[in-house]
Amino acid sequence: MSESQTEDDLNEKVEELENKIERIDERTNGSNQIRIQAYDLSIKASSEETGMRELLSMCSAEMEDLTERALIGQYQEIEREDLFGQIFGDD
Residue pLDDT, tens place only, 7-41: 777 778 888 888 887 777 666 555 788 888 888 88
In a domain, 28, yes or no: yes
Where do the H-state alpha helices sit in 1-91? 3-28, 52-80, 84-88
The reply to whether 76 falls in a domain is: yes
pTM of the model: 0.50
CB environment 55-79: b (16+ within 10 A), e (fewer): beeebeeebeeeeeeeeeeeeeeee
Q: Is residue 88 part of a domain?
A: no
Q: Containing H/E element for 41? A: strand 41-47
What is the number of residues in the chain? 91
Q: How many domains does the chain have?
A: 1
Which domain does 31 fall in, by range? 3-81
State how far the Cα of 63 lies from the Cα of 55, in Å rounded to an integer.
12
Question: 44-72: per-residue pLDDT in tens?
Answer: 988 888 888 888 888 889 989 999 998 99
